[in-house]
Structure 1
Amino acid sequence: MIPTVSTAGWCLLVVAAIAVGIAKTALPGAATLAVALFAAVLPARASTGALLILLLVGDVVAIAAYRHDADWATLRRLVPGVVLGLVLGAGFLTLAGDRATAVLIGALLLVLIAVTLTLMRRAGTSVARGRTSRLLYGTLSGFTTMTANAGGPVMTMYLLASRFAVAPFLGTTAWFFFAVNVVKLPLSIGLGVIRVETLRLNAVLAPVVIVSALAGRRLAIRMNQNLFDRLVTALTVVSAGYLIVGAM
């Protein structure tokens, strides 16, 4: 059940909804702020369910905005790894507690980020186009999104390592997470994570996500590649660190 939300709580949720919209159309990784704020206001299960619906709303705006920019070949090649990761993640959740999961995922992401950035600096070109790399990044993305709603950092690192320009980066990300979140939706409903109370809260916050996502699209158009890469990398590191710190 969702408890009565105070005025201060609603303010935090509105800020979280803005972060979701910006993350979907301009700065992947900003959604970490939304995760933190929702967890601070709502119980864990209600927070997860409410956020999933808002992420889907943001996904819809993003795929409309970048409908011509997705790299479908890349998405198709990631599918086997992602499916494997989702299965492994579901199995892992039956064995590990929330705290251990968050720390493990955070540590894995930080290692992945360090390795990816090191390889990119040494190679100077794409380092993630091979079959092994696709399987690794795809599996980790599916695993982390299933266990901690944290697939964003992995996908971000994969697309950065593949040297995607801003628009293809955001378009490919939009379709990827729309598909993943749609798959997670019936599972969340079946587990009771999404309930009528969740949808009522979403009805209030969804317009905020839509407006901020449209604003994010305008922001992304004005960003150069170097600034985009730096901001996305920084937010990805923050995302991984948050999982560890938040579990302490």
Structure 2
Amino acid sequence: MLELTTEGWVLAVLAAMAVGMAKGGLAMTAILAVPILSLVMSPVQAAGLMLPVYVASDVGGLIAFRRNFSTTVLRTALPGAMVGIGLGWATAHIVPDWGVTLIVGVIGLVFALNALIRPDLGGEPRRPDHARGGVWGGLAGYTSFVSHSGAPPFQVYVQPLRLPSLIYAGTTTWFFAVVNWVKLVPYWALGQLSPANLMAAAVLTPVALASVWIGLRLVRIIPQALFYKLITWGLLIVSIRLVWQALLG
């Protein structure tokens, strides 16, 4: 079993809850998981620990959104995502731990600042296309491989399409379910699915699955604007801490 302090297990449970709630429709919460765990362990180890939790939670998300997704968006974004995953695999031994920490922190920092200062989307909805889908899907695949932080670039592509909320949530769930299953192969090859990580993931998986239901409930109870603002500020604080940690290391 993975040796963690009490604080470490508390953070691991919070990370698992963030993953589960994301699969329940609050997609943005997933980006908190690795940054939170990176406060008490290597981001590489954190990513390896969380991948089985993501994969198990995907099952709950796919059941919840089995009829609500856009095949057109998936066809335009998934090919690029596969390229991004391959690039992440090919460069995994080049980027040091502090570099991964910096990448995780910068991804979260940029996304949080963008979410706080950008104006609301307006104008006519954009149509899905292979060019934009390939670029942003590729970035989503790469950042998802590095730190399970693929939501920001994917949302840059999908938000201007202005899909209905359930279709938006379901498409995001299906996209990352495919990405996560594909990532199992390179993560196993790189030794990130260690027995200790798998045992800890088995403990955290029920928490994540229960949180899928919590996410579905929160989508209906809490105003999304307020919820996302709170999550964004939390992400901003954690990301600043990670960037500082990487630069000092």
- TM-score, length basis structure 1: 0.80
- Decide whether the 8 Å contact of 1:85 with 1:140 is kept in 2: yes
* Equivalence for 1:2: 2
SS at match of 1:129: coil
* Equivalence for 1:195: 194
For residues 106 and 13 of structure 2, what CA distance do their matches in structure 1 show?
30
Unmatched 5+ stretches in structure 1: none
CA deviations 1:130-188 (Å, max 9, x no partner) are 33211221121122222333211111222212112221111111111111111111221
- Decide whether the 8 Å contact of 1:80 with 1:135 is kept in 2: yes
Alpha-carbon distance change, 239 to 169 in structure 1, aligned in 2, over 3 angstroms: farther
* Equivalence for 2:32: 33
Alpha-carbon distance change, 48 to 69 in structure 1, aligned in 2, over 3 angstroms: same
* Equivalence for 1:227: 225
How far did 1:88 drift?
2.7
- Decide whether the 8 Å contact of 2:30 with 2:149 is kept in 1: no
Alpha-carbon distance change, 197 to 18 in structure 1, aligned in 2, over 3 angstroms: same
Counterpart residue type for residue 178 of structure 2: A
For residues 55 and 246 of structure 2, what CA distance do their matches in structure 1 show?
26
For residues 131 and 45 of structure 1, what CA distance do their matches in structure 2 show?
31
For residues 131 and 15 of structure 2, what CA distance do their matches in structure 1 show?
36
Alpha-carbon distance change, 124 to 114 in structure 1, aligned in 2, over 3 angstroms: farther
Counterpart residue type for residue 225 of structure 2: L
How far did 1:48 drift?
2.0
Aligned length: 244
- TM-score, length basis structure 2: 0.80
For residues 33 and 78 of structure 1, what CA distance do their matches in structure 2 show?
23
* Equivalence for 2:173: 174
Which region of structure 1 is more displaced relative to structure 2, 80-89 or 207-216?
80-89
Counterpart residue type for residue 227 of structure 1: A
- Decide whether the 8 Å contact of 1:30 with 1:235 is kept in 2: no
Which region of structure 1 is more displaced relative to structure 2, 67-76 or 24-33?
24-33
Alpha-carbon distance change, 72 to 119 in structure 1, aligned in 2, over 3 angstroms: farther
- Which contiguous aligned blocks of 4+ residues in structure 1 show a shift greater than 6 angstroms? 117-120
* Equivalence for 2:63: 64
Unmatched 5+ stretches in structure 2: none
* Equivalence for 1:204: 203
Counterpart residue type for residue 131 of structure 2: T
* Equivalence for 2:52: 53
What is the RMSD computed on CA atoms of the aligned residues?
A: 3.4
Alpha-carbon distance change, 17 to 80 in structure 1, aligned in 2, over 3 angstroms: closer
Alpha-carbon distance change, 239 to 42 in structure 1, aligned in 2, over 3 angstroms: same
CA deviations 1:86-106 (Å, max 9, x no partner) are 233333334333434554576
How far did 1:197 drift?
1.8
Alignment of 1:87-102 (within 5 A): 87-101=86-100
* Equivalence for 1:77: 76
